[in-house]
Structure 1
């Protein structure tokens, strides 16, 4: 990513952290000497930039200085953070005036997609997803990996907090910097670009998952395809992971497409409506994946039952065939004196022939009825 990057090994002055109560929630307090700039964000700060008239301003100073300029109406600051700790978010919260509840949500990953408004500041949580390539789908394959991007959008600033090893916004920032007109629209335009980027990734992942579903469907309906039922179940679990990212976002995205807010211009709202349309499309696609996999799973279970019934019929047929010579041999094994053909010269061969004929008749009968 272009722009300033901060030395990860730089020395850090860490002050004592106290706790205060705000609305029943414990929030870290940061001493004033900690509020000195980006040095306290070493290890979490990915990039920051000050934008004026849609262009990156390379003035000297840190983002605290740039924030003061932005609060005078001269552009805005965009800060990107990666998995910051509680203390680092407390620093950011004090510097930018962020709500304690939003900071608490940003500290913990695994949040549900949502949009909240705290005065003039918008706080959005977006689930990011990534398709995990694999040579062969197994019962333990990870197909969809999820993460989160949280966005604080307020007067003069945009703060992105990323959780997860994917969903980087480096390329997005570089693309936006090539379009000064979009950046000039303010923090709301950055929020739109992030939402559009996330939803586009949903479409890419959905297309890759569609290929996996097509493959498993072909294999499932092949001979003895029910043996792949564990793979179907695993793929269904991964689709549910994608569904948990996509479905809850429809409400927040619809709100952004209709919300009257100082950060969202009329033109930006139009762009949010386009993102909302794409999101609805991928949501319908993911829901259809879930339903299709449920049908394939039910078909696989039915195949298991059919296979078990066929095996039982086959076993029963062979038991019936074997029972005939067993019965005859058992009767003649009693060695009574007055038994038919017991003392005749060819009685032994006659009995063996009778066994063979009876077994042959039963075998052909069972074959005719598809039991063998």
Structure 2
């Protein structure tokens, strides 16, 4: 879908409303340049754009593929393809959404192909149109505006990830276990974000090195400095999440150890109780048998005391002595 298509001369937009593709291609032969913006175009739309502006088929194929790393490619026709990864933090879902912008750059035209909701460029076009001195530098000025907006969009993502990491960190280092899957999810998002930010340093350095317009050099350096700071922050977040993950696993291990200790203590009490009642059960079961000798020879009060009470007390005393002996051996 064509979002906007405009012709710029001496830093000023010519005419009102978007241009048609044949009209835009014809204006490329005149003064100034054309900026064509596409959002998630269909295959036939990209084919039409490729034929109209005589783009290399491999460049168009790259624009249709969702890349994991930003890059710069130069083709024989003098067209440069710059691929950027965009990012946006979703507060409701507490996750990072990624998009992509493919920029076809030539002296007479700029074609931007956006993929994903996180790749909005309307603000960059409006801001650049309000800076005619930068817009007058040509297509490189447009590339600077796009880079500047993409890098500025990284700042809220860094802040959103930082907030989530602070919450997880506070939970873990307070001694409570945090959901491990949440930490893994945050680390995956930070890794994907790092893959979008870090390779862009090389892209910005290449643009800064090859830009022929002196007026753009300070602005490109500013983008590079801002991007360097974000790259350092994202790398630090990845390292911190690794530390938090290890600490969380340690907290989980401590909790499991505590549960194991409580279970062992419970089993020890049950074992002692079973050990106490085992000889008592044997004595009462033995003397509860209805053998004739037991019935005829054990009668009266003293046989009851000797065989009945004594038969219960003596095993308990022997068991107590055995348990104390075992405790004294373990204490050594």
Normalising by structure 1, what TM-score?
Answer: 0.74
Change (3 A) 1:329 1:147: same
Counterparts of 1:70-89 in structure 2, within 5 Å, are 70-72=28-30, 74-89=31-46
- Is the counterpart of residue 258 in structure 1 residue 209 in structure 2? yes
**Which string of whole-angstrom CA distances, capped at 9 and with x for unpartnered residues, describes residues 192-249 of structure 1?**
11011001111221011101110111122334x2242221112112212211211221
Instruction: State the Cα RMSD in Å.
Output: 2.9
Asked whether the 8 Å contact 2:172–2:251 carries over to 1, the reply is no
Aligned residue for 2:229?
281
**Which string of whole-angstrom CA distances, capped at 9 and with x for unpartnered residues, describes residues 87-119 of structure 1?**
222221222221221111112233531011124
Q: Which residue among 298, 303, 308 is the counterpart of 1:343?
A: 308
Mapped to 1, the partners of 2:115 and 2:265 lie a distance apart of 61
Give the 3-state SS of the residue equivalent to 1:233 in structure 2: helix
Asked whether the 8 Å contact 2:80–2:104 carries over to 1, the reply is yes
Mapped to 2, the partners of 1:288 and 1:258 lie a distance apart of 28
Give the 3-state SS of the residue equivalent to 1:112 in structure 2: coil
Mapped to 2, the partners of 1:63 and 1:53 lie a distance apart of 21
- Is the counterpart of residue 232 in structure 1 residue 197 in structure 2? no
Aligned residue for 1:152?
104
Gaps of 5+ in 2: 288-302, 328-332
Give the 3-state SS of the residue equivalent to 2:146 in structure 1: helix
How many angstroms does 1:65 deviate by? Answer: 3.0
How many angstroms does 1:66 deviate by? Answer: 4.1
Aligned residue for 1:210?
162
Q: Which residue among 274, 290, 300 is the counterpart of 1:326?
A: 274
Mapped to 2, the partners of 1:274 and 1:265 lie a distance apart of 15
Mapped to 1, the partners of 2:160 and 2:192 lie a distance apart of 14
Mapped to 1, the partners of 2:260 and 2:139 lie a distance apart of 68
Change (3 A) 1:323 1:62: closer
Please identify which structure carries the higher helix content.
Answer: 2
Mapped to 2, the partners of 1:341 and 1:179 lie a distance apart of 111
**Which string of whole-angstrom CA distances, capped at 9 and with x for unpartnered residues, describes residues 6-57 of structure 1?**
xxxxxxxxxxxxxxxxxxxxxxxxxxxxxxxxxxxxxx10011111111111
- Is the counterpart of residue 113 in structure 1 residue 62 in structure 2? no
Mapped to 2, the partners of 1:292 and 1:209 lie a distance apart of 11
Aligned residue for 2:85?
127
Mapped to 2, the partners of 1:179 and 1:63 lie a distance apart of 26
Which one has the largest radius of gyration?
2
Asked whether the 8 Å contact 2:21–2:49 carries over to 1, the reply is no
Mapped to 2, the partners of 1:313 and 1:274 lie a distance apart of 58
Mapped to 2, the partners of 1:46 and 1:149 lie a distance apart of 14
Mapped to 1, the partners of 2:306 and 2:247 lie a distance apart of 56
Q: Which residue among 96, 110, 118 is the counterpart of 1:166?
A: 118
How many angstroms does 1:172 deviate by? Answer: 1.7
- Is the counterpart of residue 299 in structure 1 residue 247 in structure 2? yes
Give the 3-state SS of the residue equivalent to 2:276 in structure 1: helix
Asked whether the 8 Å contact 2:171–2:178 carries over to 1, the reply is no
Asked whether the 8 Å contact 1:79–1:160 carries over to 2, the reply is yes
Asked whether the 8 Å contact 2:134–2:216 carries over to 1, the reply is no
Normalising by structure 2, what TM-score?
Answer: 0.82
Give the 3-state SS of the residue equivalent to 1:333 in structure 2: helix
Mapped to 2, the partners of 1:188 and 1:146 lie a distance apart of 24
Asked whether the 8 Å contact 2:168–2:178 carries over to 1, the reply is no
How many angstroms does 1:287 deviate by? Answer: 1.0
Counterparts of 1:309-324 in structure 2, within 5 Å, are 309-324=257-272
Give the 3-state SS of the residue equivalent to 1:305 in structure 2: helix
